[in-house]
Amino acid sequence: MTQQRYRDLAEWPLMGTAVVFLAAYAWQVVGKVEGRGNEWLEATLWITWGIFALDYAVNLWLAENRRRWFFWNLHELLIVALPVFRPLRLLRLVTLLSVLHRTVGESLRGRVATYVAGSATLLVFVGALAVLDAEQSAPDAKILTFGDAVWWAVTTITTVGYGDLYPVTGLGRAVAAALMMSGIAVLGVVTASIASWLVQRVSETAETAVETAEQPVLAEVNDLAAEVAALRREIALLRSERTS
């Protein structure tokens, strides 16, 4: 089996696994589950992490050039190798965006709109969960509820930063930095896509204008060519009559 064939077969199961992981993680963080329920949620998180680790191993095994694939996917190794940092494990949810991107359609504007909506929503939700997980048990924490975490994530990803809520732990600040960089990246992709679309439309409009302007000239050239052909026939006819 080729690596691409495996990726095609594993994409939807991985997306389902990512959704289960996100649901279990959100339940654990927001619900503050304790006791037996927390043990079940923790087991679910470790099982899904194991599936992601297995996916990494299979991709490495099926890669045509394993050394090259390993160095080009060091971020995947980092995500798999650091399961103790729950916010980092959430990065595997980019599978959702990949599947979403492939199922949008061929319209550039449709892809941009879907990408923006999907990316922004997922980043805000994941960022809110991650910072709440890192902050809610810290002394002097400002972010104590999921509502506060969502508000903080929205102001952070848009680089507004009101300053009313902010992380006080090192891990929370790392989440903030990643969220800001992600917001800038999403905005950059959108800006580049819109610019590309505008350039394409201007080019198409210019080509249409040139074709429209050339049509009368082409018509006159065709008329002249027809007249020249008619004159040639008349001249040929006169020559044949003289010789006869």
pLDDT in tens, 34-65: 788 878 888 888 888 888 888 888 888 988 88
Position 174 pLDDT exceeds 70: yes
What contacts 4, CB < 8 A, 6 or more positions away? none
**Please, which pLDDT band fits residue 100 given cuts at 50, 70 and 90?**
very low
Q: Are 21 and 92 in contact (CB under 8 A)?
A: yes
CB 129, CB 29: distance < 8 Å: yes
Q: What is the mean pLDDT of residues 146-173?
A: 85
Show the tokens assigned to 117. 């909506």
Contact 11, 82 (CB under 8 A): no
CB of 194 closer than 8 Å to CB of 188: no
pLDDT tops 60 at residue 87? no
Asked if the model's pLDDT at residue 243 lies above 60, the reply is yes
State the Cα–Cα distance between residues 237 and 174, nearest whole angstrom: 92
Question: How far is Cα 236 from Cα 232, in angstroms, rounded to an integer?
Answer: 6
Mean pLDDT of the chain: 76
Cβ contacts of 143 within 8 Å, gap of 6 or more: 131, 132, 135, 136, 149, 152, 165, 166, 167, 172
- Position 79 scores a pLDDT of 67
Considering the entire predicted model, what is its pTM?
Answer: 0.62
Residue 183, exposed/middle/buried by CB under 10 A (0-12, 13-18, 19+)?
buried
User: How far apart are alpha carbons 56 and 46 in whole angstroms?
Assistant: 15
CA 176 to chain CA mean position, Å: 20
C-alpha distances (whole Å) from 85 to each of 74, 78, 80, 90 are 17, 11, 10, 9
Tally of CA atoms within 13 A in the half-sphere of 28 that contains its CB: 22
Higher pLDDT, 70 or 109: 70
Domain extent listing, the chain: 1-96
Per-residue confidence (pLDDT) for residue 151, from 0 to 100: 92
Structure-token pair, residue 101: 């991107």
